[in-house]
């Protein structure tokens, strides 16, 4: 199904979601739960079809003890998915992951059911271009911080299993190889860039509005928009979305700490 979403029809976040369903179970925790350990052993023995979703490895956290990675995509499919996700001509924007591949900017997905009932999905990085859902929400290109946050968390978990030697090109076709922790840090860096001032004192989230760069009373006012333009990082929708968009604080703190430790 992963290949189906990425190659045969619309290339959307629907195809990215399987990456998020991942967890790492430490061997010591499993040993403290004998009932769970017994059932896990039974599944591994009698349900071989599930083994592709469970990878046993040495933990990177607890002195190399055994741990289990539980994930939907196999190692091969994870690599195939990331090839699309980390492609700047597909999902990877300078400011995070788009909700729809940029591929559809030039190659709209068209669904036809009869000669008079054609539906078209195109890459729309900013405001919604359709009246669906009230016309005030757009999952056809913009960057949604909540989903980006979950993808970053998931990549960190995969890293605990695959380690430093498992690398992938990031961005795709760049020739730059990264392990999955480095990929997660790169995605976080791009998200944080939305909120940082550039060389002209402007934050991408403010778009062409200059008051936030020139007026001292507005200079340090940072708005938490609902979602962000897929190409420019401009804030769109509600500008007080201090629910999921406030998750950016976690990434800002992590990046600041890493710089301090350098």
Q: Where would I find the beta strands (DSSP E) of 147-204? A: 167-169, 177-179
User: Exposed/middle/buried for 232, CB within 10 Å: 0-12, 13-18, 19+?
Assistant: middle
pLDDT of residue 131: 79
Q: Where would I find the beta strands (DSSP E) of 31-156? A: 54-58, 66-71, 92-93, 96-97, 109-112, 118-121
pLDDT of residue 135: 72
pLDDT in tens, 104-125: 999 998 877 666 667 788 999 9
99, 12 contact by CB (below 8 A): yes
Q: Structure pTM?
A: 0.87
Angle at 180 between CA 32 and CA 226, to 5 degrees: 95
Peptide bond connecting 259 to the previous residue in cis, omega within 30 degrees of 0: no
pLDDT of residue 55: 80
CA dist 262 and 240 (Å) reads: 34
Q: Which ranges of the chain have pLDDT less than 50?
A: 1-7
Write the DSSP symbol of residue 13: G
pLDDT of residue 129: 86
226, 145 contact by CB (below 8 A): no
CA 120 to chain centre: 25
Instruction: Please give the backbone phi and psi of residue 203, each rounded to the nearest 5 degrees, phi first.
Output: -95, 135
Q: Which long-range contacts (CB under 8 A, 24 or more apart) does 36-43 make?
A: 40/68
Angle at 65 between CA 20 and CA 185, to 5 degrees: 40
CA dist 27 and 63 (Å) reads: 11
Q: Helix, strand or coil for residue 46?
A: helix
- The residues spanned by each domain of the chain are 22-71
Residue written as tokens 């778009």? 207
CA dist 26 and 56 (Å) reads: 10
Side-chain half-sphere CA neighbours of 30 within 13 A: 16
Helix axes 145-162, 180-193, angle to 10 degrees: 160
CA dist 130 and 135 (Å) reads: 6
């Amino acid at each position: 199904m992963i290949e189906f979403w990425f190659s045969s029809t619309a290339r959307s976040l629907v195809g990215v979601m399987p990456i998020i369903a991942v967890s790492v179970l430490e061997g010591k925790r499993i040993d403290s739960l004998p009932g769970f350990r017994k059932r896990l052993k039974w599944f591994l023995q009698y349900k071989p079809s599930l083994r592709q979703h469970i990878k046993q490895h040495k933990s990177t956290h607890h002195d190399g003890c055994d741990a289990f990675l539980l994930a939907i995509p196999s190692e091969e499919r994870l690599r195939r998915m990331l090839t699309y996700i980390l492609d700047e001509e597909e999902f990877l924007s300078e400011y995070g992951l788009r909700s729809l591949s940029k591929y559809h900017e030039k190659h709209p997905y068209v669904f036809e059911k009869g000669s008079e009932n054609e539906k078209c999905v195109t890459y729309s990085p900013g405001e919604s271009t359709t009246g669906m859902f009230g016309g005030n929400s757009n999952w056809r290109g913009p960057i949604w911080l909540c989903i980006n946050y979950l993808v970053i968390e998931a990549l960190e978990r995969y890293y605990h299993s695959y380690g430093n030697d498992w690398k992938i090109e990031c961005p795709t076709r760049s020739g730059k190889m990264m392990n999955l922790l480095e990929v997660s840090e790169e995605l976080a860096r791009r998200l944080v860039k939305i909120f940082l001032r550039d060389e002209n004192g402007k934050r991408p989230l403010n778009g062409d509005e200059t008051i936030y760069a020139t007026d001292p009373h507005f200079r340090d006012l940072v708005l938490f928009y609902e979602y962000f333009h897929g190409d420019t990082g401009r804030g769109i929708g509600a500008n007080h979305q201090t629910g999921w968009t406030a998750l950016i604080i976690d990434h800002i703190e992590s990046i600041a700490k890493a710089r301090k430790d350098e």
